[in-house]
Structure 1
Amino acid sequence: MSGTPAAGGGLSRLPYLLTRALYYYRRDGLAVLARQTILFLGLRLPARLVGYDAWRFFYDRLTRSDRRAIRRDIAGLTHRPLMSLVVPPAGETPSCPDRTIRSLQDQLYPHWELLIAGSRPEGMAPDLDDSRIRFLPAAKTRDAVSSRQALLEAAAGEFVAVLDPGDTLSPQALYRVAREADRAPDAGVIYSDEDRIDDAGRHRDPWFKGDWDPDLFLSQNFLGRLCAVRRSLILAAGGLRPGFGGSADHDLLLRVTETLPPDQIRHIPAVLCHRTGGPTFNRAAGPVSKSEAEAARRLILDHLARRSITAEVVPVAASPGRFRLRRPLSDPAPLVSAIIPTRDRVDLLRPCVDGLLDGTDYAPLEIIVIDNGSTDQETLAYLREVERRGVRVLRDDGPFNYAALNNGAVGVARGSILAFLNNDIKVIHRDWLREMVAEACRPEIGAVGAKLYFPNDTLQHAGVVIGLGGVAGHLHLAEPRDSRGYFEDVLLARSVSCVTAACLVMRREPFEAVGGFDEDRLPVAFNDVDLCLKIRERGLRILWTPFAELYHYESASRGSDMAPDKIERFRRDYRIMCEKWGPTLASDPCYSPNRTQDGCGGGLAFPPRAHRPWRAGKRESGKRRT
């Protein structure tokens, strides 16, 4: 668990602390050593030391030794592909700013070419004259998409990436792409993190991305910049298509990626491109023209047609210009068994069960309530009442074991779809279960989680991040209900590593295949995390959808795991998870190693956990906290 190690240890820890201090000093210098010392002592850092400028200063600079190591690594690559960078015209100005060219000339990887739409400018600075730069005069009759396509066709490189005029690359950018291609020779698409840079050279809005996520990519082109694609795949896909305007890149990348297995779409967790324009998803969405919205919708419709997928494409109300899928249910719809453990607290149970009986548009639905030793007469009377309405009530008076209660109910449930619900869940919209079941029926999806709110309309669940707070934690916890999250991640369906079993829907088959919940070692805490990790081990994805919304009065009936009488059990479960999953808990493929694992997450990681490949396999962060 996170905490300040200075609280104990005494003089016995002094040799270790001195060794760590020497490590930070030798690796990063006195400034980083000072910062780490302040953090170790638990002192509050000044704002200038916790923002993105500070993060870049400490972790995004290349030292002279770094540059030497990168050059040695480049010399050792088994294959050094030519990289083609293309800069299309920006409106009526067919030119490429000097800073874009200089950033290419500063690349540590020398095997590149730059294709610029437009004629060579008169009076071009002599130091910008480079044989690797080609100017392609653009015909005045060409539209923007045709001009971009002409550049792609003229490119000679094995990989092609598009830059907008004014964009710049980190000096390590093309080396990182080449090294990833060397590491994964079958890679077809390689993309990186990015940020924005203004005219004064100030950096902001870092976009630290997760690994490849086909569901998120349907709604959002998160590949962005830098994104290098094999030229052969671009040509095989037919290149850019007219009629898609600003969505033309998204359309092309969708046609490319849908032909590739996931392991051929590679993510480099490093800011390699600094954009002059680009996404502003952390702010309120601005107006989107009708033609832009229609193009975004049409590229999804075309994708569905190519893949023979039946679904309705509907707008995302909270994000104008974005769309998502509403998948149909089979006919007849599968039987869902909703399983709800409970003990007393009829004030919580009644809204939960009534919401299923009267507030949920789904059939056929089997409701199973597991009564774990209720003694309250009002609760017992309510259970008799709902039994008369068809609810199955199972009685188990043994000690509370959440995992065993649910496993036992699955054993008698009749449904092919299982919906695990806490008794403190309250339905908001009638279509929530239909939405989750439609996603859970997909063969590649192992489990589906919902968007949950506390009673005060703040976020309780928007996906679970592995390693957050130690073992796992909820991202965006207690943010406002209308929060846009991090680059709209709370507005769009996306892959996550885990979801809470407070509201979890899945097919019976994968549940039984992984042995259900671990009732022997994890009777109360972390059994949902463990279940999701077992499902992922079988190659299935965990999906979180914001289009199924419910209230969750978290742990209202049994109390918090942090209560004095339960903390020892929680610590035991914590240790079991660390022993069972070990290194898996150190990194979450859906959550960037450049984002913090402290608290509720989302902030910058000081230090990042991202790997610097030229440093002989060493990582930025050392061992994971336990």
Structure 2
Amino acid sequence: MIEFIAVDIFRGGIMGYGFHSIALVCENLWEIMCSIKVNSTFDDYRNISRLDNNGGLLAVTEDPQMILRSRAWLPGWYMLEATVLHATAARESRLYLNEGHGYSNENSVSLPIKNGRVSKRIIHIGKSGTRLRFDPVDAPGSFSVEHLRLILLTPGFARDRIRKRVVRLHHDFRGMSLEDMVNQLATQYHAHGYQTSEEWLMACYADTFHNRRGQGDYQAWIATNEAPVEERPLTREPLISILVPVYRPELGNFRACMNSVLAQSYRNLEICLVDDASGDEELTRTLEEYRVRDERVRVAAHDRNQHISHASNTALDMATGDFVALLDHDDVLAPQALYFVAQAINEAPEALVFYSDEDKLDERGRRHDPHFKSGWNPDLLLSQNYLSHLGVYSMPLVRKVGGFRAGYEGSQDHDLALRVTNGLSAAQVVHIPRVLYHWRAGKGSTALDSGAKEYTSQAGLKAVRDHLAQASLPASVTSGSLPNTYRVTWPVRGRPLVSLIVPTRDGVDILKPCVEALLEKTSYTHFELLILDNESTCKKTLSFMQEVSQRDSRVRVLQWNHPFNYSAINNFGVSESRGEIIGLINNDIEPINADWLDEMVGQVQREEIGCVGAKLYYPNNTVQHAGVILGIGGVAGHAHKYFHRTEAGYFSRLMLTQNLSAVTAACLLVRREVFEAVGGLNEEHLAVAFNDVDFCLKVREAGYRNLWTPYAELYHHESVSRGQDDNPEKQARAQREVSYMLDNWGDQLTTDPYYNPNLTLVHEDFSLR
């Protein structure tokens, strides 16, 4: 028997600790524990009488006297279900299986946390008497377990679900038919180091749950992905000039920087070093040492300190190359960095700007915190300088824009990137999805103190403001919510009529709050609201629609007396609407900030922008939608799904306006001319799912950029009205829609230009692939 002890209150937490669901499950478990790591946020413990032998607090029921009697589990297949709500950095729960040898990570399974939503995973219990322990979170902080249970499955059902997940998500089998996958498992398991085909299948299934986001995962990624490549002769070998402004570096770090350049496998380079009056004799000797050692090293020195822009321009004046690369005096290039740059120049001869992924070096020289970047993303570049490091630019272009500008020190590289990319097409800005640059993150490591966040932020703000003015763009810029980030606001031009189209069927409990909030909480008032009634029979719903249309002249109710087809309903609504801007709105949407529509209208009026999407939250303040990433889950997934509303996201992207391939039609704005030009939503093939993704891709194919803004915030009670695909007919329809998307868009679904090929297509959290 195991005694489960209660926790009374955790002050300041999000939870009341009502673990009734766990207690009920425990009646059917041999042993199940919630392990909570003691830390400073848990500062009010009462009614605690024991800890487990790992120092974890056992907290399962409200009754400290409750004793749950042991009942052995039968061996077999089970579905593990868990709902964890938390305000931590946690990303996964873990279930440990003790078969008589204690608890260990080797005999455990992970379960990604969908904050406040049910997560599921099939497990196999192979030995009678197995005991179980459940750890709800993997990071300190407050949490609650809302739901936890195990459901016995038939072996056939379990294996079928496992195979389907592997075919949909695993990189080795993605897109295969089930038959082909089974054949490959049966014939190749031994070649992959497994004793049976089922052992390989289960390893692949487990792999689809693993969240690769830790330092150990990055080290494993490096070992797997960064073996030296065989370098092939290049048709063109451009001279690359590396500009290195130098000011009082730590000499060991400076030597590491220089050695990484001189050791480059690509030899057609020159290094332009400018000492900005460091006043350091040892540094002077070191610079001379490198100049004498290698004829490709050029050295100049200022007689007085003129700061980084002037030093960079002096280096630029010395340079004779076809392209310039920017390097801080203590950072390090990957051994084949310039080869990959030269290779990209050969593959894209029309391109003028190249940039790579990067990571950081800690004070011990260990690599961490990789930044796997988006492809060319103009609106993200306005929001932050995501291009630097490694940035490589056409020499004539850099000279044409005047090089570096004094007065922008601290963000001089952002200022340069904005000016050289101004007016370039996507084909002229090339992203190299490899970590070619290691940025030293130690204290005092850059030419300008990286700790001066206010200084660099103000310089960046000035750079973006000047860019907008020089390009005659009718927008303003303010500081973002995070250091070195910026918000560009595009004011509404004129007073365009916006047609908000809301399909619905019955469900007054969700429709009424949506409609009332749209009418009352929207500061931009020049809109019409079209409620498209899809055969409602609920008297309260019919009464409300009649009442609100009579009360507010902006509201019209139109009848759609046909079987549910989301695409067809919305196309009908657009045909009946009068606005020059179309807003597709779900009937379970509620605005949060009053200026949400002002923000979206200002963005969608830009000629180059197609669809504009909003930041949507579940009612528990976790992210439901922050843009769509192609390929996740098979076709497409929501970026940063289940992150908490307050989190910054992957390199601050949850807080930044940016271009994305698609946005959800739960709240989407588009100009009427664009909607009609691409033929609206696909009624024939995509009646329910993926019609918004397909629509956005058609818009992108027509030459527009889609955009997501975090400054239009709304709640979304996702799929409350329509329900789930929980019967054979709905499941068959869903599979047809998946097949259509795969057939119609092909490789585009696995090569999202606003994502990165080194990031996962399983999870929605930007972890490693």
What TM-score results when the alignment is normalised by the length of structure 2? 0.71
Structure-2 change in CA distance of 1:50 and 1:407 (3 Å): farther
Residue 482 of structure 2: which of 316, 319, 325 is its match? 319
Moved more, 192-201 or 465-474: 192-201
Give the deviation of 1:9 after TM superposition: 7.0
Verify: 1:426 aligned to 2:590, yes or no: yes
SS of the residue corresponding to residue 246 of structure 2 reads coil
Residue 571 of structure 1: which of 715, 723, 735 is its match? 735
Aligned to 1:341: 503
Residue 393 of structure 2: which of 220, 224, 229 is its match? 229
Residues 627 and 639 in structure 2, CA contact (< 8 A), matched pair in contact too: yes
Q: How far apart in 1 are the matches of 2:326 and 2:540?
A: 66
Letter in 1 for 2:468: L
Verify: 1:52 aligned to 2:215, yes or no: no
Residues 190 and 265 in structure 1, CA contact (< 8 A), matched pair in contact too: yes
Residue 587 of structure 1: which of 751, 756, 762 is its match? 751
Residues 462 and 475 in structure 1, CA contact (< 8 A), matched pair in contact too: yes
Q: How far apart in 1 are the matches of 2:474 and 2:184?
A: 63
Aligned to 1:554: 718
Deviations 1:63-87 (A, max 9, x none): xxx3xx31xx1x2x22101111122
Verify: 1:472 aligned to 2:655, yes or no: no
Q: How far apart in 1 are the matches of 2:562 and 2:371?
A: 49
Q: How far apart in 2 are the matches of 1:468 and 1:187?
A: 29
Give the deviation of 1:260 after TM superposition: 2.1
Q: How far apart in 1 are the matches of 2:653 and 2:576?
A: 37
Aligned to 2:98: none
Give the deviation of 1:122 after TM superposition: 5.0
Give the deviation of 1:330 after TM superposition: 1.7
Residue correspondence of structure 1 range 405-554 to structure 2 within 5 A: 405-554=569-718
Letter in 1 for 2:523: D
Letter in 2 for 1:90: Y
Verify: 1:598 aligned to 2:755, yes or no: no
Deviations 1:154-175 (A, max 9, x none): 1111111111122111122101
Structure-2 change in CA distance of 1:122 and 1:220 (3 Å): closer
Computing the radius of gyration from Cα coordinates, the structure with the larger value is 2
Q: How far apart in 2 are the matches of 1:159 and 1:445?
A: 31
Aligned to 1:362: 524
Aligned to 1:199: 363
Q: How far apart in 2 are the matches of 1:466 and 1:339?
A: 26
Residues 103 and 168 in structure 1, CA contact (< 8 A), matched pair in contact too: yes
Q: How far apart in 2 are the matches of 1:592 and 1:12?
A: 26
Moved more, 3-12 or 80-89: 3-12
Give the deviation of 1:49 after TM superposition: 9.7
Gap runs ≥5 in structure 2? 1-162, 276-282, 444-449
Q: How far apart in 2 are the matches of 1:36 and 1:168?
A: 40
Verify: 1:328 aligned to 2:498, yes or no: no
Verify: 1:403 aligned to 2:567, yes or no: yes
Q: How far apart in 2 are the matches of 1:348 and 1:46?
A: 35
Aligned to 2:264: 107
Verify: 1:144 aligned to 2:308, yes or no: yes
Gap runs ≥5 in structure 1? 280-285, 606-626
SS of the residue corresponding to residue 489 of structure 1 reads helix
Residue correspondence of structure 1 range 46-195 to structure 2 within 5 A: 51-62=217-228, 66=229, 69-70=230-231, 73=232, 75=233, 77-91=234-248, 97-118=254-275, 120-121=284-285, 129-195=293-359
Residue correspondence of structure 1 range 279-290 to structure 2 within 5 A: none
SS of the residue corresponding to residue 246 of structure 1 reads coil
Residues 194 and 272 in structure 1, CA contact (< 8 A), matched pair in contact too: yes
Structure-2 change in CA distance of 1:271 and 1:21 (3 Å): farther
Aligned to 2:557: 393
Structure-2 change in CA distance of 1:563 and 1:211 (3 Å): farther
Q: How far apart in 1 are the matches of 2:241 and 2:563?
A: 65
Residue 212 of structure 1: which of 373, 376, 386 is its match? 376
Structure with greater strand percent = 2
Structure-2 change in CA distance of 1:17 and 1:212 (3 Å): farther
Residues 287 and 320 in structure 1, CA contact (< 8 A), matched pair in contact too: no
Residues 291 and 299 in structure 2, CA contact (< 8 A), matched pair in contact too: no
Aligned to 1:242: 406
Letter in 1 for 2:295: S
Letter in 2 for 1:106: A
Q: How far apart in 1 are the matches of 2:442 and 2:388?
A: 8
Residues 96 and 116 in structure 1, CA contact (< 8 A), matched pair in contact too: no
Aligned to 2:59: none
Give the deviation of 1:200 after TM superposition: 2.3
Deviations 1:304-326 (A, max 9, x none): 2211112222222x214432221
Structure-2 change in CA distance of 1:165 and 1:18 (3 Å): farther
SS of the residue corresponding to residue 346 of structure 2 reads helix
Aligned to 2:110: none
Letter in 1 for 2:487: R
**Length, aligned pairs only:** 579
Give the deviation of 1:96 after TM superposition: 6.6
Residues 468 and 601 in structure 1, CA contact (< 8 A), matched pair in contact too: no
Structure-2 change in CA distance of 1:565 and 1:553 (3 Å): farther
Give the deviation of 1:300 after TM superposition: 1.7
Give the deviation of 1:327 after TM superposition: 1.3
Give the deviation of 1:38 after TM superposition: 7.5
Structure-2 change in CA distance of 1:299 and 1:416 (3 Å): same
Q: How far apart in 2 are the matches of 1:374 and 1:458?
A: 31
Aligned to 1:283: none
Letter in 1 for 2:223: F
| Percentage of identical aligned residues | 42
Letter in 2 for 1:348: I
Deviations 1:526-581 (A, max 9, x none): 10011011111111111000000000000011112356662222112111111111
Q: How far apart in 1 are the matches of 2:423 and 2:190?
A: 49
Q: How far apart in 1 are the matches of 2:544 and 2:211?
A: 56
Give the deviation of 1:229 after TM superposition: 0.7
Residues 307 and 409 in structure 2, CA contact (< 8 A), matched pair in contact too: no
Give the deviation of 1:42 after TM superposition: 2.8
Structure-2 change in CA distance of 1:462 and 1:278 (3 Å): farther
Give the deviation of 1:182 after TM superposition: 1.1
Q: How far apart in 2 are the matches of 1:502 and 1:340?
A: 9
Q: How far apart in 1 are the matches of 2:463 and 2:715?
A: 34
What TM-score results when the alignment is normalised by the length of structure 1? 0.87
Deviations 1:118-142 (A, max 9, x none): 3652598799922222222232242
Structure-2 change in CA distance of 1:41 and 1:401 (3 Å): closer
Residues 476 and 490 in structure 2, CA contact (< 8 A), matched pair in contact too: yes
Deviations 1:401-422 (A, max 9, x none): 1100000011110001000000
Q: How far apart in 2 are the matches of 1:307 and 1:189?
A: 19
Give the deviation of 1:427 after TM superposition: 1.0
Deviations 1:463-510 (A, max 9, x none): 001101100011111110011110011101000011000000000011
Give the deviation of 1:41 after TM superposition: 5.7
Aligned to 1:352: 514
Structure-2 change in CA distance of 1:41 and 1:244 (3 Å): closer
Letter in 2 for 1:380: L
Q: How far apart in 1 are the matches of 2:533 and 2:180?
A: 53
Structure-2 change in CA distance of 1:116 and 1:538 (3 Å): same
- The CA RMSD measured in Å over matched residues stands at 2.9
Higher RCO, 1 or 2 (CA under 8 Å, sep at least 6)? 1
Structure-2 change in CA distance of 1:579 and 1:128 (3 Å): farther
Give the deviation of 1:371 after TM superposition: 0.6
SS of the residue corresponding to residue 241 of structure 2 reads strand
Give the deviation of 1:15 after TM superposition: 5.7
